Structure 1
């Protein structure tokens, strides 16, 4: 069933389009190689709000059934329309672009590459085959260096607010932490106990994903 992809804030999208139109940004040394080698126009697609599970490791166990989250940005899959193949809508993924909220409003953050790019696209394809419609988001668990596709059941919800509901689905992206199967949909109330057990045995990591 089609996903109800929420529109990104107009200034966030505009910041990404401006970066894509800047030769300095697109050809920079830290720009993903696939983006530098893009063969055609690159289009941002599938805007996803990125929420971070805030201090999950330090939350009392009794409160982990309703984890606190906060919006950290929006990510866009970058589709190279000059090639054919792996993209959701045709073309090849050339990385992702990220917009972040600053004191002056939304601003371009950075381009990213790595395994989470194709993993995100794969999870979106999985979600499109589910019988229930969802609003897609990304949920990061920094303590486990983990990123999931969060499928929220309230299609009309503000994509920048809210916390995972027990009946929402989470699809861990690859690579997932040991003991947590990647690309297997889990209800929130089933996955949170697994995260709790994993946190007991894993050192805290604060690297952003």
Structure 2
């Protein structure tokens, strides 16, 4: 298997497992699949979640920052939801459970990535300005999963639903996709209407 899934921080995993075992936490969440689950639930496939910073100066290398660790919640080998832990000043804490298209899309993208011949370290990269989430396949499998920038040869696999004009589940080299993202994230220049002179 070419995917080298990084180990999540133990406190992050523990916080999600604790919330998953708490009837109150599950009951108060808006995830019908967790409430309806009858079988044993497990936290699997930990992925660090990074956000692409949009405030880099023109021409500068984009920056990313870690926002959490996401775990797929499985019931009988089927992903039904996800749970996320976020960093705080005191360590890791449970953030939230959720379900929806990105859960199944993440699982599908991971399965597709396993068929690649090149080894990768999987991460998630979100682009908030485009409401876009991607599976980030990082080429350095020994890198610290909580830091770093996408390398030009890293692959980004947009998850479904993807923004209009960007194909979901199609791998893009970061160097090829970055200009498209930059163009879409750059605000249009303000134009001033021409004043008529008498």
**1:9 paired to 2:9:** yes
Within 5 Å, give how 1:136-155 maps onto structure 2: 136-155=122-141
Distance 2:185 2:91 in 1: 34
- Name the structure 1 match of 2:174: 188
**1:131 paired to 2:105:** no
Q: Which of the pair has more CA radius of gyration? A: 2
Instruction: Give the structure-2-normalised TM-score.
Output: 0.91
Aligned residues: 188
Q: Is the 8 A contact 2:2 2:117 kept in 1?
A: no
- Name the structure 2 match of 1:18: 18
Provide, for residues 6-40 of structure 1, a one-character-per-residue CA deviation record: whole Å limited to 9, x for no partner: 00000000001111110111122x33111111121
Provide, for residues 105-153 of structure 1, a one-character-per-residue CA deviation record: whole Å limited to 9, x for no partner: 1000000111111110111011001110100000011111110000001
With 31-40 and 192-201 compared, the bigger mean Cα shift is at 192-201
Provide, for residues 170-193 of structure 1, a one-character-per-residue CA deviation record: whole Å limited to 9, x for no partner: 000111111111110000000001
- Name the structure 2 match of 1:38: 37
Name the SS of the counterpart of 1:24 in structure 2: helix
- Name the structure 2 match of 1:176: 162
**1:73 paired to 2:73:** no
- Name the structure 2 match of 1:167: 153
Q: CA RMSD in A?
A: 1.3
Distance 1:127 1:43 in 2: 22
Q: Which among 90, 95, 105 is matched to residue 109 of structure 1?
A: 95
- Name the structure 2 match of 1:53: 52
Q: Is the 8 A contact 2:130 2:185 kept in 1?
A: yes
Q: Is the 8 A contact 2:34 2:80 kept in 1?
A: yes
Distance 1:160 1:137 in 2: 9
Distance 1:31 1:143 in 2: 24
| Runs of 5+ unmatched residues, structure 1 | 82-90, 203-209
Q: Is the 8 A contact 1:180 1:194 kept in 2?
A: no
Q: Is the 8 A contact 1:53 1:67 kept in 2?
A: yes
Q: What is the deviation of 1:200? A: 4.3
Q: What is the deviation of 1:2? A: 3.0
